[in-house]
Structure 1
């Protein structure tokens, strides 16, 4: 049955398939007391439970899928009955089970990394190196099924067989702390042998699935140490899933290669930001603690030894103990020197300053920062640790233009390997030395290519592959036509046989994948007479004693294409919220046409979506008046095609959720589009489609964005929000980047002199 389950539910967790088979087999032999004669049979209950479990694991809750799984379960039950020579007959005795005389723990005997005894033995890398598949099983349903089985088991006459509960229930709910995960995934490597090992990565035969969807099939991962790889591909293709698999060593990366993945914001507590960055290098922190501990032990030994005669047994014991501690301390000093531990604080402060943390803010507790700033802290911690493989997932989503400029410059001199998922063309052009294109369950490599050269080469490859495939298809059709015509003709039979052999020798070419094209389309806009919306002398502050904005004058018309840039925290989003009426100014005037409709795209648009509903269902509830087919056609105008509109929103990628949000936005028929970081999570093709749609939009556009390419393509005027002011910038976004780079260089020189 397990093979059939794999075919019905590709990528199903093996634990689930084993559990399902075992449960049904157990239930088919179950003993039932006479008192339970009228109750449902254990096998019937097992069939219902297993069916529900498998449907949950598949992630497909359609009636067709449920029926197919139920038929599969019933087919297996029939085979069990036939094999046992019974037909719905209830057995009177449970099956026997043999118990091992001694427990064997294989996992604990492999993949142990010695760490000088600093963590009480070793780091067990079994959990890091063993492939795992994310389980989609409903734990509560599984627990309920287990309680039913155990209750019936307790009623059995024979008590010597213990029922083995599902191993899924033994998996802990709580996640590891940052320190525990870091030490497990990145064991401490000491000595010259560790330094001499190659840090190039070459892994073949990679298979990755999630939620029943195949991400990679027999793919090869190849990265040369010190190169910077941009990982690109359309939304939903599985780029983030690949990064998570690498960070957990579900892909067999050698353990001497340290890995760090910037994925989640750090947990806020009372630790100052600077100290949080220093603590990120767990082994440095651990070695410093051990250094202090051993130094104290040596001082105690010296004090005790000074009062003893050289010939005493205790003196010899203490001397031997001191020699061992001296060796350990020497190794620790060497490792700390290799880490340049003495320069750690200045390096951490420099990274934080580049990411927008002033010297004062570096002393603030991490719990005082918002989610966006905590993500910056997570990035700062990763840059500070300098792992051998740094994994970055859309780092520009959390940064403003000045910080993106700093990060790009920093990574250009980064000493180790970088793998970054990004849809920011300008960022990839500056950072990437190579591009990896993820598509069609495989990875294609473009060596020595930034994004622009990759894009041109990819198009050329696609055209060549299409041309080669079409030529071969035409040649095959010509040969086949001759074979069909003359195969049974005696005079031409030898020529027909020759063509058959030629046809068999021809390589089988895969049909080229269809060109990935995305279209965005906003509705037509009814004309309004000006003024449309104006801000005059507007001031605002969240507290009276700390004004955020003052004397803001901004005029938005139906033909406006305005981009607002500036550092995070300067008040860019506040300007948008004032404009749409979510906030009220403390002084000044905001006037607008009474018939004006504004479409607002929030930076955290996902918060407004019901992740347990489908895109079509969400639209039906919040924008009623259309049929499901009309909603699906409307979603198709924003790249949500096929069955994607009927899937749970929680199963969609960030870019797909963004497209749903834009589709909802267009249903309001806005005159003005107010967009806060609209490019976040969108893939390159979707960003191009959005830029084109915004240029063709008949209404006005006001956007806050950090994406240089989108600002260049869409906006005709650039405004800078900084130091409480919003002022027009004389120049384009490239000139603005050049200006802030010069300012950053000047600030760096000043810090160095200080």
Structure 2
């Protein structure tokens, strides 16, 4: 037995029943032995635990005496005494009698706790070689160690390393996980070369809401995982914690989380992508420095100096050739082009791009860097249909591990090799794409419900026998055997079915005839050059019961067309004609900017539509499943993206419009809500004009498709299949060129 463990077991006999706790105390002292400068630091680290072990009546002097002995054992000298002077100092320590461990109520007693598992515990439970660590106490301990390291670095020529700053969104999220000590030691030694990711028995919370409990995350290298689940359950939070390494992941694995847009500065877009390959950039820098050195020393230094520099330069060239550095610009340009950057855009500085294009640039950088684990959160939100189809093809050959969240059912079916379903604070795994997942999940739930009902029937029948003969002496042995059998049965729970989503727009009187028309419409922004028009001679119309979907590349003019249809822009030539009773409800792509996030949903409705009753506001919100305390008490800033969308839908529908114009309404909606939206739009009595890249929504609602391209709007008679063929032809031409 190791010295610290031997002393602890001898001094505190109760620890013989808790070897995992003994090992934890041992590791805390041995791993951080070089950081303990005095007894006070040992007491600060272990005092809380030792007080709980010694008992409620333990004094500080008693625990400090134990800490002094431990400090001496690990190589320190306590209170100025010579080492070994306390070897027989057991009279300073009150030993415990054998018996149960005495701890405060908030800690585990014999490995058990309250219903929530004791969120504030420093020692929650043990399972084999795993130890549950409280992240807040661990962060506090790490902060103390860092503070000591910073103090030691004062006056040194080498500054202390700076920790990366956490994202502003992460402080509200917390996580605790079980740590496998053998794997942790392998990782610290640098000998672990496993590329699979296994995070066992972890909890995840956001503020006071438990999102995951005793969950397991298993990612096999080379697989593509689609993370699905209802809005607000913690999918994006999980990606952020993985990206920030708040969940412990082997240090040799590289991780990229595409969450924030690329920095806007004078760096050329193509160069911004190339800079992601740090090894290539370092070799190119070394090449430049060596060439400059040769040039500056030409004719001055001896042959031996030139030979050494030439040898280093040759080695750099060999490494550049090994990583195919000469092909990197072409690969980076291909990724940018696939995401919509034209050759001229690739040569422009990143500062001129809008937020959406910088997000595309961030995605391009991640794809070029090829990390061991790539994390994507709703990657299709920033892309048009052409870029989405290109990204689907590109990710199908992705070599490392991919974990992504998406509401686009088609994207999930084309990219994912596995589905991870987040529900009921657990993660469940399914092989195959989203369609296979739906089928397998339904069968699994049906089987689970059948097993539960069969077990319940069996238990009821057995208990009927027990209750009937409980006091019959002749049947006592049978009653006892029945009870023992029931105790051994696994505790099955009824299946928790996810609630269905129901969205309903206000009932309206349908219009008769044409709702909106554009006749021979021409439009341009720059009055100095009317020949450079965005639209020329456009003739389109939408009836009172139309279901029109507008498609086209980003920058083709879809947003401008919507503004003309809404009446926000006037045609330069031609006419816009609207029905005299036309009442348009508009859902903006950036609807969150319209919300006052400090208000509740009801307060926002009152501000937007004053003078109505509370029942009217709540009824309108209830049509989009924003009800109860959520509508009245929760500020909008606490809502998930999908819940904010529903509030925006309710605000749009409150005035009972008879024509809806929706610009990218599926952003931030989960798949179930997208399907509910499609159903609600089909049941709506008025007309609908929709801009979307969600293939499932388009195919579920589209009756007519307008393709915006080449300064005009063309009606596609065959709808989405025809548009898909156009995109595939353009993508194939790109590949050939």
TM-score band, normalised by shorter chain: 0.7 to 0.9
Following superposition of structure 1 onto structure 2, how do residues 90-105 of structure 1 map, counting pairs within 5 Å?
105=146
What residue is the counterpart of 2:708 in the other structure?
721
Q: Residue in 2 aligned with 1:135?
A: 171
Q: Residue in 2 aligned with 1:205?
A: 201
Q: Does 1:480 align with 2:480?
A: no
The answer to whether the Cα contact below 8 Å between 2:170 and 2:241 also exists between their aligned partners in 1 is no
Q: Say if 2:170 and 2:240, in contact at 8 Å, map to a contact too.
A: no
Structure 2 distance, partners of 1:479, 1:629, is 51
- CA shift at 1:300, angstroms? 5.7
2:542 aligns to what?
556
Matched-pair contact (CA < 8 Å) for 2:511–2:686: no
Give structure 1 regions of 4+ aligned residues with deviation exceeding 6 angstroms. 120-123, 130-133
Whether contact under 8 Å (2:522, 2:574) holds in the other structure is yes
Q: Separation in 1 of the partners of 2:698 and 2:169?
A: 40
Q: Distance in 2 between matches of 1:508 and 1:746?
A: 60
The structural deviation recorded for 1:529 is: 2.9
Partner of 2:385: 401
SS for the counterpart of 2:655 is coil
Task: Name the SS of the counterpart of 2:427 in structure 1.
Answer: strand
639-648 or 407-416: which moved more?
A: 639-648
- Distance in 2, matches of 1:630 and 1:531, equals 31
Residues 1:427 and 1:135: Cα distance change in structure 2 (over 3 Å): closer
Taking the aligned partners of 1:132 and 1:606, their CA distance within structure 2 comes to 19
Structure 2: runs of 5+ lacking an equivalent: 1-43, 49-143, 151-156, 174-186
Matches of 1:270 and 1:655, distance apart in 2: 36
Residue by residue over 1:727-754, the C-alpha shift from the partner in whole angstroms, topping out at 9 and shown as x without a partner, is 101323133223211221122212xxxx
Question: Paired residue for 1:657, among 644, 669, 686?
Answer: 644
In the TM superposition, 1:551-700 aligns within 5 A as 551-645=537-631, 646-700=633-687
Aligned to 1:709: 696
Q: Specify every segment of 5 or more residues in structure 1 that has no aligned partner in the other structure, as ranges.
A: 1-17, 23-102, 110-119, 138-188
Q: Do 2:149 and 2:160's aligned partners in 1 also have CA atoms closer than 8 Å?
A: no
Q: 1:583 to 1:282 in 2, by over 3 A?
A: farther
- Which residue in 2 is equivalent to 1:293? 289
Bigger mean CA deviation after superposition, 515-524 or 297-306: 297-306
SS in 1 for 2:708: strand
The 3-state SS of whatever aligns with 1:470 is helix
Match in the other structure for 1:538: 521
Indicate whether 1:384 and 2:383 are aligned: no
Q: What aligned pairs does 1:200-279 form with structure 2 within 5 A after superposition?
A: 200-279=196-275
Which region of structure 1 is more displaced relative to structure 2, 233-242 or 629-638? 629-638
Per-residue deviation, residues 40-98 of structure 1 (Å, max 9, x unmatched): xxxxxxxxxxxxxxxxxxxxxxxxxxxxxxxxxxxxxxxxxxxxxxxxxxxxxxxxxxx
How far 1:338 sits from its partner (Å)?
4.9
- Indicate the SS of the match to 2:327: helix
What is the distance in 1 between the residues matched to 2:230 and 2:695? 20
- Taking structure 2 as the reference length, what is the TM-score of the superposition? 0.72
Deviations 1:613-633 (A, max 9, x none): 121221122123444454334
Q: CA offsets, 1:142-179, max 9 Å, x none?
A: xxxxxxxxxxxxxxxxxxxxxxxxxxxxxxxxxxxxxx
Alignment CA distance shift 1:133-1:624 (3 Å): closer
**Residues 105 and 244 (structure 1), Cα distance of their counterparts in 2 relative to 1, 3 Å cut:** closer
Q: Tell me by how many angstroms 1:657 deviates.
A: 1.0
1:636: how far off?
2.9
Over 3 Å counting, the alpha-carbon distance change for 1:489 and 1:301 in structure 2 is farther
Which residue in the other structure is 2:449 paired with?
Answer: 466
Q: 1:295 deviation in Å?
A: 4.7
SS in structure 2 at match of 1:406: helix
The alpha carbon displacement at 1:286 in A equals 3.6
- Does the CA-based 8 Å contact 2:516-2:577 persist in structure 1? yes
Q: Tell me what 1:495 maps to.
A: 478
The answer as to 2:729 corresponding to 1:747 is no
What is the alpha-carbon distance in structure 2 between the residues aligned to residue 335 and residue 201 of structure 1? 30
Distance 1:667 1:630 in 2: 9
Structure 1 counterpart of 2:416, from 424, 432, 435? 432
Q: Which residue is equivalent to 1:520? A: 503
Give the direction of change, closer, same or farther, for the CA distance of 1:242–1:336 in structure 2 (3 Å limit): farther
Separation of aligned partners in 2, 1:371 and 1:451:
30
- Which residue number in structure 1 is paired with residue 73 of structure 2? none
With over 3 angstroms needed to count, the CA separation of the structure-2 counterparts of 1:291 and 1:473, relative to structure 1, is: farther
Shift of 1:386: 1.2
Q: CA 1:516/1:717 → structure 2, altered by over 3 Å: closer, same or farther?
A: same
Deviation at 1:305, TM superposition (A): 4.0
1:361 maps to: 345
Task: Count residues with an aligned counterpart.
Answer: 571
TM superposition shift of 1:299: 6.1
Cα distance in 1 for residues equivalent to 2:169 and 2:512: 58
CA displacement, residues 471-509 of structure 1 (integer Å, 9 cap, x when unaligned): 222322332333233222223322221221111011112
- Post-superposition shift, 1:122? 11
Output the CA distance in 1 between the equivalents of 2:146 and 2:250.
23
For residues 274 and 331 of structure 2, what CA distance do their matches in structure 1 show? 9
1:525 deviates by: 1.3
List per-residue Cα deviations over 1:538-567 (Å, max 9, x = no partner).
222222323212222221111101111110
Q: Aligned partners of 1:471 and 1:444: how far apart in 2? A: 23
When residues 261 and 616 of structure 1 are mapped into structure 2, their CA distance, relative to the original with a 3 A threshold, is: same
The whole-number CA distance in structure 2 between the counterparts of 1:719 and 1:198 is: 50
574 and 513 in structure 1: CA distance in 2 versus 1, 3 angstrom threshold: same
- Counterparts of 1:443-454 in structure 2 under 5 Å? 443-447=427-431, 449-454=432-437
CA 301–136 in structure 1, closer or farther in 2 if over 3 Å, else same:
same
Which of residues 307, 323, 346 is equivalent to 2:330? Answer: 346
Aligned equivalents of 1:213 and 1:331: distance in 2? 55
1:650 aligns to what SS in structure 2? helix
C-alpha distance in 1 between matches for 2:550 and 2:344:
26
- Taking structure 1 as the reference length, what is the TM-score of the superposition? 0.71
The question of whether the paired residues in 2 share the 8 Å contact of 1:388 and 1:417 is answered with yes
**Secondary structure in 2 aligned to 1:610?**
coil
Q: Distance in 1 between matches of 2:627 and 2:493?
A: 24
